[in-house]
Amino acid sequence: MAVSPYTQPSFSEHRARTSHVNRTLLTLLSYVLLTKDGTSVSLTHRHANDINYYDATISHSDNINPLEKFYLITEQKWHKDTLVPISLSPSSKGMPTRSHHRIRQSVTGLDDAGMDLQVAQLSSQTDKEVHSRTTLSWLDWHLPYFVALCAIAGTILFTFLILLWLRKQMSREKDNENGDRHGLVEEGAICQPDKSTKDTKESVEAKWVHEAFAKQSAPKYPVRPVPQTSLPESLATPERKPEAIRIKAKGLLERRGSSTSLTIELAPAPESPPHMVTPTRECTTEEFLLSAGNVLSRAQLKKIVQGTGTLHKEFWEVPLNLPEKVDICGSGVKNRYSSVLPNPQTRVVLPGCSDDPLAGYINANYIRGYDGESARYIATQGPLANTIADFWEMIWAEKVPAIVMITRLYEASKPKCEAYFPFDVNNRIQAGSFTIIVNYVDTRNGYTVRTMEIRHERERRHLQHYWYDSWPDHAVPQTADALVSMAAEVNALPRPVVVHCSAGIGRTGCFIAIGIGMIQLLRDGNVDVLGILCQMRYDRGGMVQTAEQYEFIHKALNLFEQTLDSKPSTSSD
């Protein structure tokens, strides 16, 4: 390999390099002095010549030794990568303005006018940037506060609108409650409000008068009073006595629906029923059920079945009066549904079991009939497998002439009632010490009647068994013809009649209400379905379970009313 010999550079070349290095150092010194607080531009024009110089020297110096060539290449790269800014401000620190201005002229190649124009443009641009940055800074600081203020104001406005809407709804409900009491008439039955709700600021004194529920009617509208009845002496309780009636002596139209006064309208509205008593909200369940009523004439009965909204509202205002428990240990095994229990004051007690309360327990209640006839019906649940003997013991002890069954044995694959009787003629079953035999089966339109014979200790009795098995589950029948016909037959039988479905409250309540209402229409020419419902629920809680069943009772009675001759509506005194 050939190695080129090292040749010492000439004096002229050494001087040229030294001069170039000096110029470079001068330029750097100028940069340090001039670029401390101003805006600068690069010395592109100045260093372009130096770069071209190095390019020409390197390209035409084939005879330069490698070390010198490396020095030139390195210095060329340093010049290309380095940008030396020069301040364009009118003055700089540590240097006169005129010298600074001369340097800019030598670098840019502009005269005084051009330099002034360039300075003016740059000053304007700087002012705009400062103003823009100031504006953005103000927005950065104040915009979050403005957004937060808008959010707080919106929240307050939304809350105000919600409160206004709630107040409007509460006012509307209060107006509806006050409107429910517009049917009170003179000498109507009303319950005593609770002592805790007395208004001590009432300026007008009221007079307490002990009155019976039955009073004479207003002259313009004949009124049948709500009868006061009682159960047999063995079931009567002191709590069933009517409470005192509070009547305000003057200011009859003042404070309607208040707990401290009674509003009595001497002349009801033309479309109002002739006799409607609605207790105040402060009444207890017992007081409500003993006093509420809504007597409908035959014409009003026809009209009310066309619009059912009023009936549904009337139904849901009646308390259920379902007992929470029965104070008999172990009675739960004799209940078909744990939530349907017999009310204690009217509960049927099996005889001969005084020493064992559980042996005398059966889920059944006495139900009053028309005009408060005591123990006209016995409402009970569908017998269980372990209560069939108790059921027939009750039938025998109460000397029941008829049983009304309004359920199938299974509905929707669920047991509703145990088969407690034989189905076919001459068939028999044994229930404890009782023998039940079917002597005759008569199939009617919609229901079946069986004539049964009961044998117990060499004694024989006969009874009728009515089975209506076409009631749809969780609904009401499409027509009421069969039930009306069956109720007409049962009304002709002596008391007590046992009526049961599955739970002994829903369909059972419908049938009993239809039977009592039919007798009212026959004897009085009007009907009080609300009063019938309250009377039944006082005797057995939960009677008539749904508003659709309550509506069905009115339709059935309207159907029966169409079969009556057109005699005017009257009220019994």
Least confident stretch, 263-267, 331-335, 382-386, 463-467: 263-267
Least confident stretch, 111-125, 429-443, 468-482, 491-505: 111-125
Residue 421's pLDDT band (cuts 50, 70, 90):
very high
Determine the average pLDDT of the residues in 343-353.
Answer: 91
Higher pLDDT, 209 or 331: 331
Active-site annotation holds for 417: no
392, pLDDT greater than 60:
yes
Average pLDDT over the chain, rounded to whole? Answer: 74
**b/e map 71-100, b = 16+ CB within 10 Å:** ebeebbeebeeeebebbbbeebeeeeeeeb
Residue 183's pLDDT band (cuts 50, 70, 90):
very low
Residue 75's pLDDT band (cuts 50, 70, 90):
low
Candidates 496, 511, 524; CA nearest to 226 is: 524
pLDDT of residue 77: 53
pLDDT of residue 128: 74
| Chain position carrying tokens 């239809």 | 514
Residue 496's pLDDT band (cuts 50, 70, 90):
very high
- Cβ-contact 64, 71 below 8 angstroms: no
Determine the average pLDDT of the residues in 161-178.
Answer: 79
Determine the average pLDDT of the residues in 124-144.
Answer: 67
User: How far from 291 is each of 109, 189, 228, 312, CA to CA, in Å?
Assistant: 115, 6, 9, 19
Boundaries of every domain in the chain: 287-565
Higher pLDDT, 310 or 12: 310
3-state secondary structure of 366: strand
pLDDT of residue 248: 36
- Cβ-contact 447, 468 below 8 angstroms: yes
Least confident stretch, 26-35, 259-268, 426-435, 531-540: 259-268
pLDDT of residue 43: 45
Please give the annotated binding residues for substrate, written as ranges: 473, 501-507, 545
Residue 122's pLDDT band (cuts 50, 70, 90):
confident
3-state secondary structure of 449: strand
Residue 171's pLDDT band (cuts 50, 70, 90):
confident
Determine the average pLDDT of the residues in 537-551.
Answer: 96
Residue 406's pLDDT band (cuts 50, 70, 90):
very high
Higher pLDDT, 370 or 9: 370
426, pLDDT greater than 80:
yes
CATH architecture of 287-565: Alpha-Beta Complex (3.90)
pLDDT of residue 255: 36
Q: Which residues contact 521 (CB under 8 A, 6 or more apart)?
A: 298, 527, 557, 560, 561, 564
pLDDT tens digits for range 456-477: 999 999 999 999 999 998 899 9
- Cβ-contact 287, 195 below 8 angstroms: no
Higher pLDDT, 542 or 133: 542
Determine the average pLDDT of the residues in 306-311.
Answer: 86
206, pLDDT greater than 60:
no
116, pLDDT greater than 80:
no
- Cβ-contact 405, 446 below 8 angstroms: no
Residue 125's pLDDT band (cuts 50, 70, 90):
confident
pLDDT of residue 41: 44
Query: Which one is catalytic: 191, 283, 417, 501?
Result: 501
pLDDT tens digits for range 223-259: 344 344 443 443 343 444 444 333 333 333 333 333 3
Phi, psi of 465 (to 5 degrees): -120, 115
Q: Which residues contact 219 (CB under 8 A, 6 or more apart)?
A: none
pLDDT of residue 541: 96
pLDDT of residue 216: 36
Least confident stretch, 34-48, 273-287, 321-335, 528-542: 34-48
pLDDT of residue 145: 76
Higher pLDDT, 100 or 362: 362
Residue 136's pLDDT band (cuts 50, 70, 90):
low
Determine the average pLDDT of the residues in 496-525.
Answer: 97
Strands 347-349 and 293-297, bridge-based pairing? unpaired
169, pLDDT greater than 80:
yes
Please give the annotated binding residues, written as ranges: 473, 501-507, 545
Least confident stretch, 98-102, 465-469, 554-558: 98-102
pLDDT tens digits for range 512-535: 999 999 999 999 999 999 999 999
pLDDT of residue 473: 85
pTM of structure:
0.55
566, pLDDT greater than 60:
no
| Chain position carrying tokens 């099996």 | 350
CA dist., res. 98 & res. 103, Å (int): 9
pLDDT of residue 269: 44
Determine the average pLDDT of the residues in 68-88.
Answer: 51
